[in-house]
Copies of this chain bind each other. A is one copy, B any other.
Amino acid sequence: MTTLEQMGANAKSAARVLLTAGELKNKALLQIADALIENTDTIVKANEIDLKAARENGTRESLIDRLTLTPARIEGMADGVRQVAGLPDPVGKVLDGTVRPNGLKIEKVRVPLGVIAIIYEARPNVTSDAAALCLKSGNAVILRGGKEAINSNKCIADIMRKAVEKAGLPADCIGLVEDTSRESSVELMQLTKYVDVLIPRGGAGLIRAVVENSKVPVIETGAGNCHIFVDESANIDMAVNIINNAKTSRPSVCNAIETILIHKNIAEKALPAIKAKLDEKSVTLRCCERSSKILSNVESADENDWYTEYGDYILAVKVVDSIDEAIQHISKYSTGHSEAIITESYSSAQKFTDEVDSAAVYVNASTRFTDGGEFGLGAEIGIATQKLHARGPMGLNELTSMKFIIRGSGQIR
């Protein structure tokens, strides 16, 4: 057995205990939160090793910031774990039930997935975040963070494992892969015998690599090439306001927009107002031929722009002849994350919500709301952009499976 296989086998055993752990899960979560606070100094020291290495490697400042753990941030991590403890337990909920004509009583009951593996990048706070959500939903977790944060992650995982054990659950409910080579990541993706599902959290490159190479079932998260369509009946002030929010409130996140589509009958009036607002934040516009004629001081968009998730103060602009053209554009170029229509037309709103096939489809609101917290899920492990199992913000329910329980009195078929 390789180290990783052994870790998989241990996680599977721990997952069996978690099936019926009930309130012990919350006890473990509260222990973890306390232990994180108590060990703040230790965590900060381990983090300093990672930060020193990052600086020596010339890592850019934005990444260093994401890597940094301060006492305040560690308190934030502990708070996050406590919040998860306070959420309702998803396990055991009866989702459906029936009595068949032959007297069989059939129930469909929510159960944990089993063993969840998470492959993630720089932020060490994901280590406690993801572990808490998996533990609460009754799953054992195998964490595989990036090498940049390995000392922080080892320290945090070690603290969490001890806390879980103190609460009376197996330490192996939480495991951390200490080998951060590419090989360990690939091996984890093949560990179908022990791992039930793999969730990648990170940039587009990481997610693509996992989706393409994993034999373990994957929940794809993250990529967001989001659109707003300004319908001919739109309230222009509302359109300006929503576009500004969706582009500039946090351009780097997946629910920010990358392209606006605008109906030809409103383009001449609306585009200058939109540009004036976005100029305040120095947003670069990449315009189609028709919008280039309406606006000045803009760049030209080419086919590539429609596909691009800028994650920056850049916005592509395209004038369309109709709502149908807008829906077709979205169907072709979108990653299926979030799209919005700004309209006062009942029919356009209906058509857009019926025909746009993305995880979240908005009428007259900012795409920035696509988020577990904003949707009221209480917590979020990621935003699924695929259609199988989970779609959109994933909370605790999305970390569960179900089984049928059938109670009989001797029935045969």
Instruction: Please list the residues of chain A having a beta carbon within 8 angstroms of any beta carbon in chain B.
Output: 16, 19-20, 98, 100, 104, 106, 111, 113-114, 192, 196-197, 211-212, 215, 217-219, 235, 238, 241-242, 244-246, 249, 331, 349, 353-355, 357-366, 368-370, 374-376, 386-389, 391-392, 401-413
Bound form: Cα–Cα A388–B360 in Å: 21
Q: Are B100 and A374 in contact (CB under 8 A)?
A: yes
Minimum CB distance partner of A246 in chain B:
B412
Q: Are A361 and B410 in contact (CB under 8 A)?
A: no
Q: Are A16 and B357 in contact (CB under 8 A)?
A: yes
Q: Are A242 and B359 in contact (CB under 8 A)?
A: no
Q: Are B404 and A19 in contact (CB under 8 A)?
A: no
Q: From the candidates B238, B349, B355, B387, name the one contacting A19 in the complex (CB within 8 A).
A: B355
A contact patch SS:
mixed
Which B residues lie within 8 Å of A114 (CB)? 357, 387
Q: Are B98 and A368 in contact (CB under 8 A)?
A: no
Q: Are B405 and A401 in contact (CB under 8 A)?
A: no
Minimum CB distance partner of A101 in chain B:
B376
CB distance from A192 to the nearest CB of B (A): 8
Q: Are B211 and A215 in contact (CB under 8 A)?
A: yes
Q: From the candidates B113, B331, B401, B412, name the one contacting A368 in the complex (CB within 8 A).
A: B412
Closest 10 CB pairs of A and B: A365-B408, A245-B412, A387-B401, A389-B389, A368-B413, A365-B411, A360-B404, A238-B410, A366-B412, A217-B388
Which B residues lie within 8 Å of A361 (CB)? 403-406
What are 9 A-B residue pairs whose CB atoms fall within 8 Å in the complex?
A: A19-B354, A196-B386, A249-B413, A353-B405, A357-B403, A363-B405, A364-B407, A369-B406, A391-B403
Which B residues lie within 8 Å of A406 (CB)? 360-363, 365, 369
